[in-house]
Chain A
Amino acid sequence: MNNPILLIIQREFLSRVKKKTFLLVTVLGPLIFAAIMIVPAVLASMPEDEKRIIVLDEATLLIPNEGREEYPLEYLDPRENDLESAKAFFANSDYDALLYIPTGESWDPDFIKNNILLFGKDDPSINMVQYLDGVLEKQLNEEKLLRNGVDPEVVAQSITQVNIKSYTLGDAKNEAVQSATPIKMALGYIAGMMIYFFIFFYAVQVMRGVIEEKTSRIVEVIISSVRPYQLMMGKILGIGSVGVVQFLIWVILSGGIYLIASAFFLPDLLANQAELGATGAANVQDVEGLAVFDMIRSINFPLILGGFLFYFFGGYFLFSAMFAALGSAIDQEADSQQFMLPVTLPMILALVTATNVIQEPNGPLAFWMSMIPFTSPITMMIRLPFGIPIWQVLLSGAILIGTFFAMVGLAGKIYRVGILMYGKKVTWKELIKWLRY
């Protein structure tokens, strides 16, 4: 066990896994990650404070007490008030907004639609404006239909919503199951986000480790025993194996949760389905739940997990080699900012384009982003749940591996010079010069 790279890997691995923070991150990591995904959604769906609106409806367009559940509307008598007195009343009241619907000269819907006014104590929220728009539009539409001799009931009945059920053809196992596009979207997005966090998190640790060895001045002691390249690779591999262990713990944990969930809920659902046939009483929600389980099972999880490990490793190697080179060039972490942004920009770009990739997982943007090695780990993870041609996966993997080797070579050269360079503010130009040392 005296291969120096193995020794370095061992030290890097153990010194991190033995820390209390490792346990903490491993347990809390998924919770925090889930919180990042869920909390904004929860916050957005939380009810606002109830806003009360006072209405001066000169056109008597709105029908009181009908469909006004979101914002309570109360009315001023149009026979006793005009806009000025309504405004005065509103200013001294505790209502949040005043809605003014004028009648114009001849009760013309086209006149009314352009002259409705809304006054707020502060800026009326977009939600409120949209809601009022909707209510008023519906009312005006019906009014116009009636004027043209059309029964609004007929129109309402003839508005049709199409529900396309999509299937993936060719895969016998999946054909029977409704295509799981929404779940795949979520899965792709989560996987892409996770790989970004993973790569970034561990690559930055490599950089920190390099800076630590440099500032504690142990680096020259070490490289009088091992080659700088061995030290760099040992560090990258050691920290990478921490990542793999952490990931495997998470997979096992979530796999366990999935198994427990299916053991508890699936039998109930199956029983319900059997009942459904017998009694005809549809428990719609449970059937939908069963469909979700079916859809989950239709996704190729081994491929996605394998892909995740591969792209994590590939992307992590690529970026950590760059980060190691950066870390070697600077004396303290605070100096890293100017170099970090250009290096991480491709990954951020891949995240920003995630929505486009999800909408068109086999489009040209998705294709090229998943070939360019600096974006492919993220973009490919987003695409993977949708099922993509195997040659694309192999090609992008090969490009990633090739770039990684080239990058390790370049990074090694910079690293070799950088770790022995103290007290020098380094520029990009300087780094490129080091390649030729």
Chain B
Amino acid sequence: MIKATNVTKRYNKKLALDGVNLNIPKGSIYGLLGPNGAGKTSFIRIMNQITAPDEGEVWFGEHRLQPSDIARIGYLPEERGLYKKMKVGEQVLYLARLKGLTVAEAKSRAKLWFERLEMNDFWEKKVEDLSKGMAQKVQFVTTVLHQPELLIFDEPFTGFDPINTNLIKKEIKRLSEEGATVIFSTHRMESVEEICDHIGLINNGQVMVEGPLLEIRKEYQNGTYSFITKTKVDDWGEAELVSQTSHHMGQSYLIKSNSYPGQLVSTLAEAANLVSFEEVLPSVQDIFIEIVEHGPKTNRHE
């Protein structure tokens, strides 16, 4: 859906994006992750054509990103808001028409969304009379009303209350199932782990690692295993004990080991009456910290 090659962006002398290569597959839920100031918003603004890259190019589907693509993108910026003095209905129609919808289209779609999110009585109200949560719903509707093929959410879960966060996660999943490509950009990596199937990690304007989430987690598997045994284990050999808890089923352990899982299983089954055994994949945050400290794995092999 989006393919960026060697995208570089400078603000004065500061390098915001430094040769960024990203590939966001069609239909994916993509997590664009990294700490604050990593360059996420700069890249998003380039996709939205708010700014242009100094070098490199961005492809949208089969062609280079062009102005008319704006209508195919729905963008919820981190800095978001609505005209306070304007009525909700007028405002939704206005923003939809800016995206190229006709009045009739915008009206009928808005009606559907207002019903779905239980906001039927909002239409004639002014935004300043809405509660924060209500305004957030309106904001979400304006982002998706024109049925964009690509949805970009910048820090979507900051500022949204928990009820709306769940509601919106649910709606985003539905949109994704209907075929939309979704990009989440956030520095709170744990918040998107459960929904994303692809991620790109950015730090200091550079892509650290990118690809399907599961593959990356497997690649960064660092020999952590969790298992339950009926009897206590005392001798850990080369393995390193991370944590240990006792409960009615026996003992739970978390260890780090360089041995093969199969070998571990047979050893444990013999020695300690193994009940369950599981390979623990690192969280995105763990991966990120490891990469920042040691560099990406692919580079290390070279």
On whether the beta carbons of A221 and B11 are closer than 8 Å, the reply is no
Which stretch (B18-26, B77-85, B237-245) binds chain A? B77-85
- Tell me, yes or no, whether B299 is within 8 Å of chain A by CB: no
**Which of A217, A221, A420 sits near B75, CB closer than 8 Å?**
A221
Alpha-carbon gap, A217 to B83, bound state (A): 9
Alpha-carbon gap, A433 to B11, bound state (A): 10
Which B residues lie within 8 Å of A1 (CB)?
97
On whether the beta carbons of A226 and B12 are closer than 8 Å, the reply is no
Interface residues on B, range: 20 to 34
Interface digits, A194-237 against B, CB 8 Å rule (1 contact, 0 not)? 00000000000000000011001110111111111000000000
**Which of A218, A227, A420, A436 sits near B83, CB closer than 8 Å?**
A218
Which B residues lie within 8 Å of A217 (CB)?
77, 79-81
B155 CB to closest chain A CB (Å) equals 12
On whether the beta carbons of B73 and A221 are closer than 8 Å, the reply is no
- Tell me, yes or no, whether B291 is within 8 Å of chain A by CB: no
Alpha-carbon gap, A212 to B128, bound state (A): 13
* Residue of B whose beta carbon sits closest to that of A422: B79
Which A residues lie within 8 Å of B71 (CB)?
225
Which B residues lie within 8 Å of A213 (CB)?
83
Interface digits, B142-186 against A, CB 8 Å rule (1 contact, 0 not)? 100000000000000000000000000000000000000000000
On whether the beta carbons of B82 and A225 are closer than 8 Å, the reply is no
B177 CB to closest chain A CB (Å) equals 24
- Tell me, yes or no, whether A52 is within 8 Å of chain B by CB: no
Which B residues lie within 8 Å of A227 (CB)?
67
**Which of A8, A216, A223, A437 sits near B50, CB closer than 8 Å?**
A223
| CB interface residues, A 234-275, toward B, < 8 Å | none
On whether the beta carbons of B94 and A224 are closer than 8 Å, the reply is no
- Tell me, yes or no, whether A11 is within 8 Å of chain B by CB: yes
- Tell me, yes or no, whether B48 is within 8 Å of chain A by CB: yes
On whether the beta carbons of A220 and B77 are closer than 8 Å, the reply is yes
A44 CB to closest chain B CB (Å) equals 42
Alpha-carbon gap, A437 to B81, bound state (A): 26
On whether the beta carbons of B85 and A15 are closer than 8 Å, the reply is yes
On whether the beta carbons of B50 and A2 are closer than 8 Å, the reply is no
Which B residues lie within 8 Å of A305 (CB)?
none
Alpha-carbon gap, A8 to B86, bound state (A): 14
B242 CB to closest chain A CB (Å) equals 42
| CB interface residues, B 7-30, toward A, < 8 Å | 11-12
On whether the beta carbons of B94 and A220 are closer than 8 Å, the reply is no
On whether A224 and B50 interact (CB within 8 A), knowing A2-B97, A7-B94, A437-B12, the answer reads: yes
On whether the beta carbons of B81 and A225 are closer than 8 Å, the reply is no
| CB interface residues, B 93-144, toward A, < 8 Å | 94-95, 97-100, 102, 139, 142
A-B contact count (CB 8 A): 66
On whether A225 and B70 interact (CB within 8 A), knowing A218-B82, A420-B50, the answer reads: yes
Most buried by A among B71, B83, B99, B139: B83
On whether the beta carbons of B79 and A224 are closer than 8 Å, the reply is no
Alpha-carbon gap, A437 to B142, bound state (A): 30
B84 CB to closest chain A CB (Å) equals 6
On whether the beta carbons of B97 and A218 are closer than 8 Å, the reply is no
On whether A220 and B95 interact (CB within 8 A), knowing A225-B70, A433-B12, A437-B11, the answer reads: no
Interface digits, B41-81 against A, CB 8 Å rule (1 contact, 0 not)? 00001001010000000000000000100110101110111
On whether A220 and B100 interact (CB within 8 A), knowing A15-B85, A225-B95, A228-B50, the answer reads: no
A239 CB to closest chain B CB (Å) equals 15
On whether A226 and B79 interact (CB within 8 A), knowing A15-B86, A220-B50, A437-B11, the answer reads: no
Which A residues lie within 8 Å of B82 (CB)?
216, 218, 221
Alpha-carbon gap, A420 to B48, bound state (A): 14
Most buried by B among A222, A224, A226, A422: A224
On whether the beta carbons of A2 and B102 are closer than 8 Å, the reply is yes
* Residue of A whose beta carbon sits closest to that of B41: A420
On whether the beta carbons of B83 and A225 are closer than 8 Å, the reply is no
On whether the beta carbons of A11 and B94 are closer than 8 Å, the reply is yes
A56 CB to closest chain B CB (Å) equals 72
Which A residues lie within 8 Å of B99 (CB)?
225
* Residue of A whose beta carbon sits closest to that of B127: A216
Alpha-carbon gap, A220 to B45, bound state (A): 9
| CB interface residues, A 129-154, toward B, < 8 Å | none
Alpha-carbon gap, A358 to B294, bound state (A): 78
B10 CB to closest chain A CB (Å) equals 9
Alpha-carbon gap, A1 to B79, bound state (A): 29
Alpha-carbon gap, A222 to B97, bound state (A): 11
Which B residues lie within 8 Å of A212 (CB)?
83
- Tell me, yes or no, whether A363 is within 8 Å of chain B by CB: no
On whether A7 and B97 interact (CB within 8 A), knowing A15-B86, A224-B50, A224-B73, the answer reads: yes
Q: Mind listing 27 A-B residue pairs with CB under 8 Å?
A: A1-B97, A2-B97, A7-B97, A8-B98, A15-B83, A15-B85, A15-B86, A213-B83, A216-B82, A216-B83, A217-B81, A218-B82, A218-B83, A220-B77, A221-B77, A221-B81, A221-B139, A222-B95, A224-B48, A224-B50, A224-B70, A224-B77, A225-B98, A226-B98, A228-B50, A433-B12, A437-B12
Name 10 extra pairs, CB < 8 A, besides A4-B98, A7-B98, A224-B50. Answer: A1-B97, A15-B85, A213-B83, A218-B80, A220-B50, A222-B95, A224-B48, A224-B70, A225-B71, A228-B50
4 smallest beta-carbon distances between A and B, as pairs: A217-B81, A220-B77, A225-B98, A224-B75
